[in-house]
Amino acid sequence: MNEGPVIDENRCNTCGKCIEVCPKDSLTIIDGKITHLSGDCILCSHCYAVCPMEAISFDVELLRNSAFYTFSPDERQKQSISAQDFAAFAMSRRSIRKYRDTPVATEILRDLVEFATTAPSGSNCQNWEFTVIPDRNKVLKLAQNIREFFEKLNAIVRNPFIRYISVLFAGTALIRYYRDHFASVELGLEEAEKGRDLLFHGAPALIIVHSNMEGSLPHEDGQYAAYNIALMAHAMGLGTCFIGYASETLNRSRKIKASVNIPQKNRVLAVLAVGYPDVTYQRFAMRKNYRMNFV
């Protein structure tokens, strides 16, 4: 298998555009021909994407073009969106906490994952994996497992003696949990008893982004992939919500991780509730003031 770009000499006009965009300087001109210096290609395929002569390809075992079931992006339109339209689109995405019962079609869930993988990644590692939970009953099963985890945790943390003694062997983790989350988890558990789903907000599907953490910046990669899902879902008329409580629990409980077939060595980077929103927002949400320095 060729480990890098394959250059078709019959098509190549040696314009050198591929050399200019290669992040690894692994393309050069030797004897008047564009040549790939072996060994250092990160498979970003920028050379392929920039070539005006369609002279560059990659082994199909290594790279493929993204393909979707429910839409087909036209690369000639790639820069046609205005800043105003893009801002309005991105700013109208909301974390949705009320979903209709309508299931999300498998093709749509597949397309969301496919689009996730078009996100940038450190050194182009693309070292992400996805677990899709496509129906409400399975979402409820995971919610129940997570609920049991928190019931046990709250039973421990409720005891002030255990909270303070835990500092000796677990640092301030339990004290911070008690301060920041205990009360809202307690409420979530009470509401769950009444059949209300404050964890996944009634979502009919979940997408879990995880990684074996062998990439160069796996946390960032996973977050960008997950945000791509959130944006594309919004474009499809779907809503999403990042569920931090679920990510945390999956990372802390081997049993719960096993229940959704996520390898134990993988770290969960994002859990996204996905479904059709049962709420309509009339305007953009506001944002906090922030600090910005030009130096």
Ligand X SMILES: Cc1cc2nc3c(=O)[nH]c(=O)nc-3n(C[C@H](O)[C@H](O)[C@H](O)COP(=O)(O)O)c2cc1C
The verdict on 95 binding ligand X (CB under 6 A) reads: yes
The verdict on 97 binding ligand X (CB under 6 A) reads: yes
The verdict on 58 binding ligand X (CB under 6 A) reads: no
In this complex, which beta carbon is closest to ligand X, that of residue 81 or of residue 285? 285
The verdict on 87 binding ligand X (CB under 6 A) reads: no
CA dist 250 to 8, 191, 247, 259, 290, Å? 48, 21, 5, 10, 32
The verdict on 182 binding ligand X (CB under 6 A) reads: no
The verdict on 243 binding ligand X (CB under 6 A) reads: yes
The verdict on 219 binding ligand X (CB under 6 A) reads: no
DSSP states of 226-248: HHHHHHHHHHTT-EEEE-HHHHH
- Restricting to residues 262-291, which ones interact with ligand X according to CB under 6 A? 285
The verdict on 52 binding ligand X (CB under 6 A) reads: no
The verdict on 245 binding ligand X (CB under 6 A) reads: yes
> What's the closest the beta carbon of residue 270 comes to ligand X, in angstroms?
7
Rg (CA), the chain: 23
DSSP code of residue 75: G
Among 21, 35, 53, 94, binds ligand X (CB under 6 A): 94
Among 104, 109, 241, 262, binds ligand X (CB under 6 A): 241
Alpha helix ranges (H) inside the chain: 17-21, 46-50, 83-91, 106-116, 136-157, 160-165, 167-170, 173-180, 182-193, 218-235, 244-252, 254-259
The verdict on 253 binding ligand X (CB under 6 A) reads: no
How many Cα atoms are found within 13 Å in the side-chain-facing hemisphere of 144?
A: 8
What single-letter amino acid sits at 33? Answer: K
Positions that interact with ligand X (CB under 6 A): 94-95, 97, 241-245, 285
